[in-house]
Amino acid sequence: MIASRKDDHVRLALEQQNGHGGRSQFDDVSFVHHALHGIDRDEVSLATRFAGLRWQVPLYINAMTGGSAMTGAINRDLAIAARETGVPIATGSLSAYFKDESVAGTFSVMRRENPDGFIMANVNATATVQDARRAVDLLRADALQIHLNVIQETVMPEGDRSFSSWGPRIEKIAAGVGVPVIVKEVGFGLSRETVQRLRELGVHAADVAGRGGTNFARIENGRREHADYGYLDGWGQSTPACLLDARDAGLPLLASGGVRDPLDVARCLALGATAVGSSGGFLRTLIDGGVPALIARISAWQDQLAALMTALGARTPAALTECDLLIGGELRWFCTDRGIDTAALATRSRLPAAVAS
């Protein structure tokens, strides 16, 4: 049952990527162009730090799969691409492994192919501390992701209907698992209030995983006999909306959900993310062009991100948070109603003294 669900997820997520590339709320975020702010490429470092961790690049392959023969092969290929490009990577949910140990290899292949890389194990919020430790041990994981997916479960025909235990479970895992814990959504976003609650629960970082990319309401609706939850297609907050909303919520933020290109990566970093993840888009590249295509794409994103930072005068990913940003469209309405000062974002850079005088 779980193995065929994992295969369905891959198939339906790939179908969504066929129509990808349309308008996104990322298009409501633009950098103010300052023609004399550029620096030299060799001044730029892509390294990023959060929650006591240091990553060479502010990019990662986010959680997807494992639990069936086909998804084990995908995990192998994703891990090779991560190894060759030096980006961190997450496994898909290990719930299949908790139910059936015979699928362990479809996850642990990631560590076998990427012995020295940064790997995040992924569990759901019903996991116990023991489950979480088993997940970390299987992967020799450097961090643990816990996913929140209440809307996915709601639309999933066989999904959970009890969510009240999630907070206490997360608190226990964060205190007892022994590696940094990152809580993520699966594409509906984390609000400021949720991130504040996660901080109280002792979580180390939050991945907003907002609306705009892979849509799990649509995926699970596609698995229903009568596809009768179509009206939930637009549920949730976009990734840029979440970053704006939760910037001051007291936890390091990671960004994922609908990230299309290096400009979206730079936008996320400028909105306060410490690193940026992609799932569905990278999966599409892997399936279409194999491991070489995915390596080429991730390498191009790294090069182009550094090029954009050079033009913007940002020596580090964190320095992008000093770049002036304009917020337009629907996102501006969101900011107005959530009390976010867009004028302050548009004027936050300090002009170099020589220019100002």
Interaction site with ligand FNR (CB under 6 A): 9-10, 13, 62-65, 92-93, 122, 145, 147, 184, 186-187, 209, 213-214, 256-259, 278-281, 283
User: What residues contact 212, with CB distance under 8 A and at least 6 apart?
Assistant: 24, 25, 26, 238, 239, 257, 258
Identify the DSSP state of 69.
H
* Cβ 196 to ligand FNR shortest distance, Å: 21
- Residue number, 2 or 307, with CB nearest to ligand FNR: 2
* Cβ 353 to ligand FNR shortest distance, Å: 41
- Residue number, 91 or 321, with CB nearest to ligand FNR: 91
* Cβ 293 to ligand FNR shortest distance, Å: 17
Identify the DSSP state of 187.
S
Give the CA distances from residue 157 to residues 8, 63, 162, 218, 234, in Å, rounded to whole numbers and listed in that order.
13, 22, 14, 12, 19
Per DSSP bridges, beta strands 89-93 and 119-124 are: parallel
- Residue number, 192 or 218, with CB nearest to ligand FNR: 218
* Cβ 9 to ligand FNR shortest distance, Å: 4
- Residue number, 279 or 310, with CB nearest to ligand FNR: 279
Q: Answer for the pair 310, 44: CB distance below 8 angstroms, yes or no.
A: yes
Q: Which residue is nearest to ligand FNR (CB)?
A: 213
Pick the closest to residue 135 from 96, 182, 170 (CA basis): 96
**AA letter at 82:** A
- Residue number, 256 or 310, with CB nearest to ligand FNR: 256
* Cβ 282 to ligand FNR shortest distance, Å: 7
C-alpha distance across the termini of the chain, in Å = 68
How far apart are the C-alpha atoms of 334 and 241, rounded to whole Å? 7
How many CB atoms neighbour CB 231 within 10 A?
A: 9
What are the phi and psi torsion angles at 223 (to 5°)? -95, -5
- Residue number, 85 or 93, with CB nearest to ligand FNR: 93
* Cβ 88 to ligand FNR shortest distance, Å: 13
- Residue number, 123 or 201, with CB nearest to ligand FNR: 123
SS3 label, residue 149: coil
How far apart are the C-alpha atoms of 36 and 227, rounded to whole Å? 53
* Cβ 277 to ligand FNR shortest distance, Å: 7
Kindly give the interhelix angle for 104-113 and 69-85, rounded to the nearest 10 degrees. 20
How far apart are the C-alpha atoms of 148 and 250, rounded to whole Å? 19
* Cβ 251 to ligand FNR shortest distance, Å: 17
* Cβ 343 to ligand FNR shortest distance, Å: 30
Q: Answer for the pair 316, 47: CB distance below 8 angstroms, yes or no.
A: yes
- Residue number, 62 or 285, with CB nearest to ligand FNR: 62
Question: Per the structure block, which two tokens stand in for 337?
Answer: 């109603």
User: What residues contact 198, with CB distance under 8 A and at least 6 apart?
Assistant: 170, 183, 190, 206, 251
- Residue number, 72 or 281, with CB nearest to ligand FNR: 281
